[in-house]
Structure 1
Amino acid sequence: MADVTPARIGLLIDYLDEDGSYDENILPAMQLIADEFQERGMIERPVEFVVRAVQGLPNGCFRAVRDAFNQLVDADALVIFGPWVSENGVALRGYVEDLAQVPIITMAASESMLGEWVFGLPAGSMEEEPIIIATVVALDGCHTVGLAFENSLIGREYLRTSREACRDAGLTITAEVAIPQVESDKRAAMATLAEGRPDAVMHVGFGLGLIGMNAALEHIGWMPPRYTTTAFEFAATSPWWREQLAGWIGLDQYDERNRTGQAFLDRFERAYGRRPEYFFPLYCYDVGRLMMTALAGARPLTGPAVKEALERIKMLPAATGAPGTRLRFGKFIRHGWVGSEFLVARRVLPDGSASVPHATIEGHVNNPVMLR
């Protein structure tokens, strides 16, 4: 095998922490999948992960993302995971489609970036997330909401779909306020929402606009039920973020009841001595299996053949989402999740110590069984 050229998978990471780092569990999860495929004889050559980590939008620039994509193509990546952020994905779509050589799988939520060569395994979507969270808000007995949307491409796309979702769920929007997609003083915006005294506050956007909302609400002496979309997944990244989201309910992809996910965490724990019980390692497991399955089924081993192999994947059990969630693509199918509960609503405890299951679009989650 030493003389065999590895099958290369590109990782285009376009959102970095302040210190320039990214989630430490991405590569271990991906490598575990590659090792399992090789041990089972499903792929005959070594797999190499080529990483390009840059700060794209909203904090950085798109050019860095475009250059990273071109570098991964030049490195002979057969399939690329990334970008993650919708603003970068929408802008990159034309470059991917014009090249027409290497498929990418994005976790970005905007459907406007999907195409012949762009597959979506989104952490939600701007079309679906508002429907799910508005349903949960109504399940919780609320009738009115004040809507805070981030003033960005993502936020305004969410705003459009949230208006329709709230109407269909029987919720009246008492006020809409734009907030920056960066950390800022939210007191004036929250005071505007408070004037209508809605039953709840709903936030939509990438998530950085959530910073300081709790503090602003506390400052004005008004702390209603608070909801957000998959921006909630920031709560899994640090105690600081859980403090920002203390008491919030939002959409996540981690569900303790999912046996596929728990079985993967069992194997991860045996391999690495730790058990990362949050959405992203499980998401990486799912996207990694999609890419490895496509590499295993590609004949010949080229980018176009990998694209065709992705289109043949059907009903693969997912580690993320509620039990029963599955994965599939197709010739005219670019959204990878199957099942109404691929997103679940979780709640951060008031002290910010942890998040617990709350509901799905199908109803409240009561006393979930913690499976190991």
Structure 2
Amino acid sequence: MADVTPARIGLLIDYLDADGGYDENILLTLRLVADDYLARGVLERPVEFVVRAVQGLPNGTFQAVRAAFRELVEEGVLVIFGPWVSENGVALRPYVEQLGEVACITMGASETMLGEWVFGLPAGSMEEEPIIMATIAALDGCRTVGIAYEDSLIGAEYLRTTRVACKEAGLRITAEVPIPQVQADKQAAMKQLAVDQPDGILHVGFGLGIPGMNDALAEIGWTPPRYTTTAFEFAATSAWWRDQLAGWIGLDQYDERNQTAVAFLDQFEARHGRRPAYFFPLYCYDVGRMMMLALAGARPLTGPGVKDALEKIKMLPAASGAPGTRLRFGRYIRHGWVGSEFLVARRVLPDGSRSVLHATIEGLVEPPSTP
């Protein structure tokens, strides 16, 4: 296929780690999927990945994200994976829709991002995560909760839906306290939450407000059950984050029982000699398969053709979530997960060493016995 022009996929990475990098398993996973589909004849031409990695909101600027999107379009990509952060996706949506040329698949949680050209495969949802989080807190015996919400667009949207979720789950909210979306002293906020001694704390937001909460709670001598959204997935990124989330219960997409995930991890290990058993490689595997199927089904192989092909993907078994989770899009269907357990709850052990399965919206579960 030396004379065949590769099909180009864009990666719009809008959140960088402290070193200015991003998870190396993203490209390794996407290339594994592309190579597999090419070898099996699903794809008729090789795939080239074009990466634009910038620091968007909350730590950077939206302008960097907008520029990255425009650069990817000029590079001739047929579909874009990204942006990842809701604050950037909400702001970028008008530009994607006005152009009407290249579809984006976002992992952002805000449904206000979705449109004709913006597809959502969110690592959660601001509408659904609070329902699951409040349900699990109630299953654990909580009847009252205090809410710590990040003072941001994401935090405000989560707060609105969390109020409704708590009411439906029978949880009484004793206090709502804003916290900064950066690492800062949280002792005053935690003291405010502790006044009425609620049964538990719910944190809502992107996640950058969590660091320091454990320390502040220890300083005031109060460590109730603590719950968070998919901000919990930061626990998979480093030992430092696991320490910040030690003892917390939060939403995740890695479930050891999911055999689609197990098969992917087997394939990855056979190729790379290691096993990245956490949510993000599984998520990238799901996104990657949807993008490859869209490239394979596009008639013609153009941005609009890929968008139309995305809409025809139905009931693809997902590696993310509990067993039975599936993927699909469609006309006017822009939320890709099928199944109530596309999010599971995991718990970081008190020593911060690892996380274990805790529950789904359907009930508490026994964690696997394997280490």
TM-score interval (norm. to shorter): over 0.9
Paired residues, number: 371
Within 5 Å, give how 1:93-132 maps onto structure 2: 93-132=93-132
CA distances 1:157-177 after superposition (whole Å, capped 9, x unpaired): 000000000000000000000
Q: Secondary structure at the match of 2:78?
A: strand
TM-score scaled by length of structure 1: 0.99
Partner AA of 2:314 in structure 1: K
Q: Distance in 1 between matches of 2:367 and 2:213?
A: 29
Work out whether 1:298 is the aligned partner of 2:298.
yes
Contact 2:358 2:367 in 1 (8 A): no
Q: Which residue of 2 aligns with 1:12?
A: 12
CA distances 1:47-72 after superposition (whole Å, capped 9, x unpaired): 00000000000000000000000000
Q: Distance in 2 between matches of 1:84 and 1:248?
A: 24
Partner AA of 1:250 in structure 2: G
Partner AA of 2:354 in structure 1: A
Work out whether 1:337 is the aligned partner of 2:337.
yes
Q: Distance in 2 between matches of 1:228 and 1:18?
A: 22
Within 5 Å, give how 1:55-204 maps onto structure 2: 55-204=55-204
Q: 1:370 offset after TM fit, Å?
A: 5.6
CA distances 1:259-307 after superposition (whole Å, capped 9, x unpaired): 0001000000000011001000000000000000000000110000100
Q: Distance in 1 between matches of 2:12 and 2:342?
A: 24
Q: Which residue of 2 aligns with 1:33?
A: 33
Contact 2:37 2:292 in 1 (8 A): yes
Q: Which residue of 1 aligns with 2:208?
A: 208
CA distances 1:96-125 after superposition (whole Å, capped 9, x unpaired): 000000000000000001000000000000
CA distances 1:200-220 after superposition (whole Å, capped 9, x unpaired): 011000000001000000011
Give 5+ residue unaligned stretches, structure 2.
Answer: none
Q: Distance in 1 between matches of 2:209 and 2:324?
A: 33
Within 5 Å, give how 1:49-60 maps onto structure 2: 49-60=49-60
Contact 1:256 1:369 in 2 (8 A): no
Contact 2:356 2:367 in 1 (8 A): no
Q: Secondary structure at the match of 1:5?
A: coil
Q: Distance in 2 between matches of 1:369 and 1:240?
A: 25
Q: Which residue of 1 aligns with 2:255?
A: 255
Contact 1:201 1:224 in 2 (8 A): yes
Q: Secondary structure at the match of 1:127?
A: coil
Q: 1:366 offset after TM fit, Å?
A: 1.5
Partner AA of 2:117 in structure 1: W
Partner AA of 1:254 in structure 2: Y
Q: Which residue of 2 aligns with 1:326?
A: 326
Q: 1:367 offset after TM fit, Å?
A: 4.1
Q: Displaced runs of 4+ in structure 1, greater than 2 A?
A: 367-371
Within 5 Å, give how 1:265-276 maps onto structure 2: 265-276=265-276
Q: Distance in 2 between matches of 1:349 and 1:366?
A: 14
Contact 1:182 1:208 in 2 (8 A): yes
Q: Distance in 2 between matches of 1:370 and 1:300?
A: 48
Work out whether 1:316 is the aligned partner of 2:316.
yes
Give 5+ residue unaligned stretches, structure 1.
Answer: none
Q: Secondary structure at the match of 1:135?
A: helix
- Pairwise CA RMSD of aligned residues? 0.9
Partner AA of 1:9 in structure 2: I
TM-score scaled by length of structure 2: 0.99
Partner AA of 2:194 in structure 1: A
Q: Which residue of 1 aligns with 2:286?
A: 286
Q: 1:4 offset after TM fit, Å?
A: 1.4
Partner AA of 2:177 in structure 1: V
Q: 1:18 offset after TM fit, Å?
A: 1.2
Q: 1:368 offset after TM fit, Å?
A: 3.2
CA distances 1:73-115 after superposition (whole Å, capped 9, x unpaired): 0000000000000000000000000000000000000000100
Q: Secondary structure at the match of 1:42?
A: coil
Q: Percent identity?
A: 77
Partner AA of 1:41 in structure 2: G
Q: Distance in 1 between matches of 2:65 and 2:366?
A: 42
Q: Distance in 2 between matches of 1:77 and 1:298?
A: 14
Q: Distance in 2 between matches of 1:233 and 1:169?
A: 24
Contact 1:5 1:45 in 2 (8 A): yes
Partner AA of 2:317 in structure 1: P
